[in-house]
Amino acid sequence: MGDSVSKLVSIVTWLTGVIVALAVGFGLINSTLSVPYIGVVNVWAGWIVVVLTIVGVVLAILDN
């Protein structure tokens, strides 16, 4: 019982992290969010976050 609850919590935590990372990435791309003092680099940073998140998801799926 404890092991299955631990796995469920781990999956929910991982999924939450993916959703938050994608939300931040797309927020940076759409200029809804910005990091002060870096200007147009915000869009590049957003694309980097989105691409690396997708790569991480694919690698996690392939690892299982």
Give me the pLDDT at residue 64, please: 74
pTM (predicted TM-score): 0.84
| Residue ranges of domains in the chain | 2-63
Q: Give 32-39 contacts, CB < 8 A, sequence gap 24+.
A: none
Average pLDDT of the segment spanning 12-29: 96
pLDDT at 2 over 80: no
pLDDT in tens, 21-59: 999 999 999 999 999 988 889 999 999 999 999 999 999
Q: How crowded is residue 49: how many other Cβ atoms within 10 Å of its Cβ?
A: 19
Phi-psi region of 32 (alpha: psi -120 to 50; beta: other; left: phi over 0): alpha
pLDDT at 62 over 70: yes
List the Cα angle 50/23/46 in 5-degree steps: 40
Average pLDDT of the segment spanning 2-20: 91
